[in-house]
Amino acid sequence: MAQTAIFQDGVTGGGTFKDGSLYSAGSASAGNAVSSTIGQASVMGGIINYRTIIQMGLDEVPDNAIVTSGVLTVNVLTAASATTNSFSALRSSETDWTEDGSHPTNAAKDGSNNWATAGGSVTTPNISCGLLPASTGSYDIDITGLVRDAVENRSKVLNIVLKDTSEGGGNEDTFVIKTGDNSTTADRPKLTVNYVEGGGAAGKARARARPGLSKRNRKSFRG
């Protein structure tokens, strides 16, 4: 039987939650600001790539669960202006970062240790999320592949980075989302995971063949 688990900092889902901003212009940091930027922009004659990193513990998903869909809902505070650039969601290979351990002017990820790569190290799964949001408010991003990977291979820890797909190229454009430190809890990033309980290769194949959430009533891009 299909079931749903919802994860949102301070609201539901339990487990760990942290998020922050990353900058790839020679330094990187995570912080506890109430908003975070995604995209690229010219600052003092140079291009800065802005990324958002999010980590969620998915402990409420059963060990034998087969993830059929995973949708991250963010609240867009400032929409993109040109909306010709696209963005992506990737897995961060570094999980030992803290929200309070660094500052935008240094490269520390936990107060003492630097990120392996400025802006954070990212790897597969790599999911295309479509164009940068053109309007403010609630926005759904289908990250099923990343959620499934977290449940099956990462001890149920989702650790992702949202970034401009064409960093270093394309147009300068950004959008801003509200973070888990925003005072309005309903506007914090929310993950909705649909799953069925079962096991074995055959069961997983059948579950993954089922359609995910309908696209009729939401802006979303399937991963």
pLDDT in tens, the chain (223 residues): 899 999 999 888 777 899 988 887 545 555 668 999 999 988 777 788 899 999 999 999 999 999 999 999 999 999 999 778 999 999 999 888 888 654 444 567 887 888 887 777 889 999 999 999 999 999 999 999 999 999 999 999 999 999 999 887 768 899 999 999 999 999 999 999 999 997 655 455 555 555 444 333 344 434 4
Tell me the β-bridge partners of 161.
53, 90
- The answer to whether residue 216 sits within a structural domain is no
Contact predicate 195/3, CB 8 Å: yes
CA–CA gap between residue 22 and residue 82 (Å, rounded): 22
pTM of the shown model = 0.85
In the chain, the number of structural domains is 1
148: DSSP letter? H
- The answer to whether residue 223 sits within a structural domain is no
Query: Domain residues for 192?
Result: 2-209
- The answer to whether residue 220 sits within a structural domain is no
Q: Taking Cα atoms as reference points, which of 90, 104, 86 lies closest to residue 23?
A: 104
Peptide bond into 189 cis (omega under 30): no
Q: Quickly tell me which residue has 């597969």 as its tokens.
A: 124
